[in-house]
Amino acid sequence: MKEVSYVMIKPEFANYPEVITEVEKRLTTAGLTIEEKGQIRYSEESAKKHYVAHVGKDFYPELEKYITSDVAYGMVVSGENAIAKIRELVGATKNPAEGTIRFDIPKQLGLELRITQNVIHASDCPESAKLEISIFHNILQSEKANEFIK
């Protein structure tokens, strides 16, 4: 079944062009299509909407601080069973396997594996994808409007 999902390279890692290139390559090599992409910056409000399932958890303040600390790189990705394929490519949040994005990229950059401040986010279900894509679009529109006003 064709699905649409959302992928975000998180702050810190979004500042490395080679990380963006590597993630895009892995997605397209897996037969997925990147429909839209762009650099964005999450506000506290958009972070709370994006991570609504985690607001109130003990790790959320650290996650919000990280996600709002710098620019991120968002992508709308489509393809057959896109959500499951992407999540397999991304790997687990805790103890990701070698060969996954969450394991390989920090190692390539000489960084430690981290749970909260990891490389990438990927939607976990169609409902999350729909919400996260709408947040991505809202941020893009807001940033374009701000550029126009300047």
The catalytic site residues sit at: 121
Task: Measure the CA dihedral 90/92/95/101, to 10°.
Answer: 0
Contact 54, 60 (CB under 8 A): yes
Read off the amino acid at residue 107.
K
Residues 6+ apart with CB under 8 A from 148: none
Determine the Cα–Cα distance for residues 101 and 87; give it in Å rounded to an integer.
Answer: 10
- Bridge-partner residues for 3, per DSSP? 79
